[in-house]
Amino acid sequence: MGELLAKLAAWRPFTALVVGDFMLDQLVYGDAERMSPDAPVPVLRVHRTEALPGGAANVCLDIVALRGRVIAFGVTGEDAEGATLREALGAGGVDTNGLITDSARPTTVKRSLVGLAQHRHPQKMFRMDMESTEPLSDGRLEELLRRFDAALADADVVCIEDYNKGVCCERLCCAVIERCRSAGKPVIVDPALIESYERYRGATAITPNRTEAELATGRRVGDAPASVDQIDLAVTMARGLDLEALVLTLDRHGALLVENGGEADVRATHLPTVARQVYDVTGAGDMVLAALAAARANGTSWPDAVRFANAAAGLEVEIFGVKPIPLERVHHALLVESRKLLGKERTLEEAAIEAAALRREGKTIVFTNGCFDILHAGHVSLLRKAARMGDALVVGINSDASVRRLKGPDRPVHHEQDRIEILSELESVDMVIVFDDETPLKLIEAVKPDVLVKGADYTRDRVVGADLVESWGGRVELAPLLEGRSTSGVVSRMRSARSGSADGPPVSPRGAQDA
């Protein structure tokens, strides 16, 4: 996960060519609160309609949301729906110069009737498809390839989105894959529900779901995740089709990745996904293709690319309809997942990556630091107040060696790993970083907090990093302290108790909370 997060922190724009079946999804929304008097069917009282790019067009918008430049290659009809689709793609930042028109076929339209019963969530009631599945004519196919050839040199990755609507015929797929292999460009395919995958031979990778793979091979493997049968099927397909990788998507069970390095080097890895509330699976396959392409264009390994795609597709199924998932949301989901795996302790590099991702989402980052040797109510109060000043609280703590230099040879009372564990259990704390320097200045430079917090026993001119934080538009906050709480006082009273003096020294009237 660490390598993937590092790739995300250094994410760069890329160029993708998307070849496939471009569709228009029409959603007709209304109330379905009564039955027709003349037939046993619900009546939809229409409130509004919505037209969205679907199929390969949805892949294009997904890639744009992941910061890719996209050129679309496909066919639409010479009709109003085709014009609407082109306009929507253009508005979404997609280059449509690779789309051609064909007066002999209609634009593929999927019209869904969506009812809202008893003011609850929307539910698809019925769908109507307007389409032609006839293969492209020779003239249209040659024109499409001419436009594709003109753009291929600038591509970082090529996607084929096949819905078996006639555009991705065997001649087109084979020609695109051959051109990509000759040019050294990766080509990733989301295959159709068809009985043979021969048209995808030589692609870099394909992404069938279990049902598609079973139909294409004529084998039943069941739904147990990463079973021996599933692995054998995936390995056989990867070898038989001369693929570099095959990603067998397994719905709630994540994905099975097969990396084909040759006869003696085939690796199968099951990559589970986070369990989510599934609301609508529409567009999940498109999202997997887009995310894999984006991740591979950014140099991630195949396992990390699948992890990224799992996270993106998981977010997609949590919403109704088809909506592109921005890179920041996927990044954040992976950060949340990493916290569950890693806890709250971070290295300097990990904290900088996570802070950068949160900042891209518009989150406010708060930083404070101290020894936090013996945690007491004063510490808890300070951390709670600091957390309320933003969205994520980063806490820097002095290493054991640093504490000894500051406090003397008999400190710390608790070693740094114990202090990390204790702070990590506080709800107010999001990240904990250990530093060995005299000051936390390197941490502040790396994390770039929006708010720098210290206790009110400090003055602004004594706060390390104050000028730095203010230089990028941040602010310094001095949080009020609880009276009479300090670590030094606690240690002194403990020593006095051991020596026989029950009262111990008086507490500081300033209520100092030296950490």
Residue percentage of the chain with pLDDT more than 90: 65
Mean pLDDT of 27-46: 89
Which two tokens mark 332? 């954040």
Whether the predicted pLDDT of 505 surpasses 60: no
231 and 328 assigned to the same domain = yes
pTM: 0.76
Distance CA 271, CA 225 (A): 10
477 and 391 assigned to the same domain = yes
What is the domain count for the chain?
2
State yes or no: cis peptide before 53, omega within 30 of 0: no
Distance CA 94, CA 72 (A): 7
**Domain around 319:** 2-24+55-104+132-342
Domain assignment present for residue 265? The answer is yes
Mean pLDDT of 87-98: 96
493 and 453 assigned to the same domain = yes
- Tokens 């890179």 belong to residue: 327
For residue 235, the domain's CATH number is 3.40.1190.20
Last residue in a domain, options 282, 307, 342: 342
Instruction: Please give the span between the terminal C-alpha atoms of the chain, in angstroms, as a whole number.
Output: 33
Give the pairing type, strands 42-55 and 22-35.
Answer: antiparallel
297 and 388 assigned to the same domain = no
Domain assignment present for residue 507? The answer is no
165 and 271 assigned to the same domain = yes
Question: Which of 186, 171, 404, 407 lies closest to 292, judged by CA?
Answer: 186
Domain assignment present for residue 477? The answer is yes
State yes or no: cis peptide before 208, omega within 30 of 0: no
Last residue in a domain, options 294, 318, 342: 342
495 and 435 assigned to the same domain = yes
Domain assignment present for residue 114? The answer is no
301 and 406 assigned to the same domain = no
In SS3 terms, 383-419 reads as HHHHHCCCCEEEEEEECHHHHHHHHCCCCCCCCHHHH
Q: Supply the DSSP string of 102-171, one letter for each residue.
A: -TTSPPEEEEEEEEE-TT---EEEEEEEE---PPPPHHHHHHHHHHHHHHHTT-SEEEEE--SSSSS-HH
Domain assignment present for residue 402? The answer is yes
Domain assignment present for residue 511? The answer is no
* pLDDT score of 372: 92
Domain assignment present for residue 49? The answer is no
Domain assignment present for residue 88? The answer is yes
* pLDDT score of 486: 60
Whether the predicted pLDDT of 506 surpasses 60: no
Give the pairing type, strands 365-370 and 392-398.
Answer: parallel
372 and 485 assigned to the same domain = yes
Last residue in a domain, options 314, 342, 370: 342
427 and 473 assigned to the same domain = yes
| Cα atoms in the Cβ-side hemisphere of radius 13 Å centred on 246 | 32
Report the phi/psi class of residue 315: left, alpha or beta, with left for phi > 0 and alpha for psi in -120 to 50. Answer: alpha
Mean pLDDT of 141-162: 97
- N residues, the chain: 515
352 and 337 assigned to the same domain = no
Distance CA 1, CA 348 (A): 16
Whether the predicted pLDDT of 320 surpasses 70: no
Active site residue ranges: 286
Distance CA 490, CA 381 (A): 16
Which two tokens mark 27? 């959603």
292 and 338 assigned to the same domain = yes
pLDDT tens digit sequence for 325-351: 999 889 888 887 877 777 899 989 888
Distance CA 267, CA 472 (A): 47
385 and 307 assigned to the same domain = no
* pLDDT score of 511: 44
